[in-house]
A and B are shown apart, each in its own frame.
Chain A
């Protein structure tokens, strides 16, 4: 940690790498979740595999949790350092004139996503731990679909909270995903900010990251709404 914290660029690179890792995880999570819409039995199989496989449980899950914690802690570290860099604020600061809301408010979208993770863990992860390790229920590979759907069925507030959080996840990714490539030093040709690519790699990165930032969170929104309305 001390090494990572030694310079502004090292901190940002660590932030970018952990962000890219979480971006990859989101794609995997969406893929599995989407099977609840097309094939509940496949969802049960995949969930059972993820919940019982040694490599997933003992290696990948701790790495994921470490990645999530690192990304959020480093986000707050950067925010605190940045606020110290301007001890006296402007009376008038027209940020909208030169940058997007998403780029200026990553901490806000990040906090919303963090709060959502709390709810998500309360809904799924903690009950799963209790089921397996506290109450020590026998292995049941067919329980996952029903347990998941039950969270959304007849609960407009929970469904609404999930939709709200995914919109903020989209805002977070719309800046963060493209920004991580800039931090890692991608050979980009920009004009008037990250949104105004000129050519080549930057155009590809901008289009791909924007598409991902919209499609993945909206995919999660679709799944939540699908199960809510399907169980009215």
Chain B
């Protein structure tokens, strides 16, 4: 396959950046999208040019590092996958592919396609934990009976890898799906009940402080989420927030 690429290049956070056109040849349908970019970077290095910077780590859909907006969709046109799991067979010979970083004021571009997602870390730090006594007398979590449905929903929420596709897909750059998944995974379990009110208030406060937009329930986040995190979590977080606000 021979492809035309339109890739966002940006020297650093201060640079205005812009698109540059490239042509890459010899792409096999079984290659992953990141391998296609590896081929391009090889060509660039061989030509004495600077390779395109992009984030990646596990390359098996777990780490959430790869975060590319491909032809207008986070992680490309396929569903329930990350960019590293996207195969080039999804494209045709001669296609033009537009590749951009995830765009949000709270995700500033560091260089080329690499963005700073530490805003997600700060939301987690604000309350995405439970305080456990680890003095040696910690109760075995399995000794606490939990309803199957709640345990399942908690596990589903916990599959969020924090890639930021929800923010990238949302027309408002809202982080409600991410934050609600992190709130839900703990709110559904008895271990998370003690700090439930503080957790949701603090995490939502931090989310707002980071400059993410308001959720308008378009549902784009759920569709583009590589782990299929459900909108139910947003409704649950709204309930938790209202209940915590009323309780003071």
Q: Which residues of A contact B (CB under 8 A)?
A: 7-13, 78, 81-82, 84-95, 97-100, 103-104, 106, 175, 178-179, 182-195
Contact = CB atoms under 8 A, between A and B. Distances in A.
B87 to A, nearest CB: 18
B236 interface: yes
A97 B213 contact: no
B9 interface: no
Given A104-B171, A193-B231, A8 B220 contact: no
Chain A to chain B: the 7 pairs with minimum beta-carbon distance, closest first: A193-B219, A94-B72, A85-B213, A185-B239, A82-B172, A98-B223, A99-B218
Given A78-B214, A78-B216, A175-B217, 10 more contacts: A7-B241, A9-B204, A11-B214, A90-B69, A91-B19, A103-B216, A185-B238, A186-B235, A190-B219, A194-B217
B24 interface: no
B211 interface: yes
Contacts of B29: none
Nearest to B217: A179
A8 B207 contact: yes
Nearest to A97: B73
Nearest to B231: A190
28 contacts: A7-B241, A8-B204, A8-B215, A9-B204, A9-B241, A9-B242, A13-B242, A84-B105, A85-B106, A86-B104, A87-B105, A90-B69, A91-B8, A98-B220, A98-B224, A103-B216, A103-B217, A103-B218, A104-B171, A104-B218, A183-B238, A185-B238, A185-B242, A187-B239, A188-B231, A189-B230, A192-B219, A194-B219
Contact of A85 (B174, B235, B238): B174
